[in-house]
Each structure stands twice: as structure tokens, then as C-alpha cells.
Amino acid sequence: MAKKNTTPATKNPKPASAKGDAARTEKARKAALAEVRARIDDAAPPTGDVAPTAAPASGTPESPAPDAGQTSPTSGKPRAKGGKRAKESAAAKPAKEPKVKRLSALDAAAQVLAKSAKPMSAAELVEQMATQGLWSSPSGKTPSSTLYAAMIREAAAKGSESRFKKVDRGMFEANTK
């Protein structure tokens, strides 16, 4: 009979230098941030024998953030608190024209049927809507089938309050209520 290994498998603990690596990484990150801030403010990057890992350990940046009263060295525009530029006035933007709401196929069909004295099929409605300039299919292959299905749905959902009334197979007229 073979003897089983009874010693538990242990995971390797983190080496003692892992904490030191994290501290060095944090110092390097802070030094890189200070260098980026210095470049943004058009200040000369730190030079000399100082290594980039020699950033202040207290967590404060090398140069303080400009106050709200200071101006940007590059543009001369006043900066807001936190070093951001002050917002431009909203009046500088041109006013947008209100969009003209396009008529839906159902709305256009209801208008055509209201003007018509006879019942019409969905294909006839699509043709009349296009000739009157009320609605045209964006690029659909079967707009009459889509319109037919929408009119049936509205008639079923709204009942006597529907704008459409089915009078014969595939034929609709305006519901005068």
C-alpha cells in the first residue's frame, strides 16, 4: 500500500519586497503626474540629479494648482478653480432651428382617407400619400404591407376610437365615429 502525502500544500506568500514595489510604483506615478502638470503649465521639467522617483511623499503635487484668479500662461484666459478654463458664454452658440416633425405613415393615411370619398387599399394609400407629398417610404420594399399591418393594429387596439375602419378585405375608410 502506498503512503499518501499528508503535508498540506501551501501557497507561496508574497515576497517581502512586494510592499516596497508598491511604494516605488506610487512614487513613480506621482512623479509622472508632476511632470505632466509641469508640461501643461509650460514649466521646465525637473532636471538635474534628482531621480523621477523622488516626488514628495506627502501626496501633494510639486506645483500648486492655479487659483481662480490666475490666467493660463498659454491663452491668457482666466482659469476656474482647479485649473480648468472658465466656460464661454452660452450666447455664443447659434440657436438651432426647430425640427419639422415628419408625418408618420398612419397619420398621412388618416389624412388621405379623410379627404377620400371611397374606401382605399393600403397600396392605393401609399401611392396617394407619395403624390400628395405627405409621406414616402424611406427605402422599404413593402411599405403597403407595413401600412396595412399598422392600420389593422390600430383598429384592433383602439376599437371604435380608431381612425380607420375596415370595410372589406384589404379596404379601409376613415372612421367618422
**One-character DSSP codes across 105-153:** HHHHHHHHHHH-SS-EEHHHHHHHHHHTTS---SS-S-HHHHHHHHHHH
Which tens digits make up the pLDDT trace of 109-120? 999 999 999 999
Q: What pTM, to 2 d.p., does this model score?
A: 0.46
| Domain spans in the chain, listed from the N-terminal domain onward | 17-83, 105-174
State which fold the 105-174 domain adopts.
Answer: Arc Repressor Mutant, subunit A (1.10.10)
pLDDT band, very low/low/confident/very high, at 177 (cuts 50, 70, 90):
confident
Q: Are strands 171-174 and 164-168 parallel, antiparallel or unpaired?
A: antiparallel
Residue 54, all three cell numbers = 523622488
pLDDT at 116: 93
pLDDT band, very low/low/confident/very high, at 2 (cuts 50, 70, 90):
low
Mean pLDDT, residues 84-91 taken together: 61
Asked whether 101 and 143 are in contact (CB, 8 A), the reply is: no
- In a 10 Å sphere around its CB, with 0-12 CB exposed, 13-18 middle and 19+ buried, how is residue 53 labelled? middle
Among 6-10, 39-43, 126-130, top mean pLDDT goes to: 126-130
Long-range contacts of 12-19 (CB under 8 A, 24+ apart): none
**One-character DSSP codes across 53-75:** T---TTS--SSPPPPTT-B-TTT
Residue 166, all three cell numbers = 375596415
Q: Which residue has the higher pLDDT, 33 or 90?
A: 33
pLDDT at 41: 82
